[in-house]
Amino acid sequence: AKMSADVSRKIHLASQRLERLTGLVKRQGVFNDPTEEINQLAARIKTDTKFLKNDLDDLQLYLEHNKRQVGAGSTSAEGHSQSMVESMQYQLVNTASTFKQVLETRQSNVKAQRDRRGLFGRHNRNNALGRPYSNPYR
d(CA 17, CA 13): 6
Confidence category of residue 22, pLDDT binned at 50, 70, 90: very high
pLDDT 10s digits, 64-102: 888 777 665 567 777 888 889 999 999 999 999 999 999
Percent of the chain's residues with pLDDT above 90: 49
Q: Count of alpha carbons within 13 Å of 101, Cβ hemisphere only?
A: 11
Is the model's pLDDT at 26 over the cut of 90? no
pLDDT 10s digits, 28-67: 666 677 889 999 999 999 999 999 999 999 999 988 888 7
Amino acid at 126: N
Question: Of the candidates 23, 33, 4, which has an alpha carbon nearest to the alpha carbon of residue 116?
Answer: 33
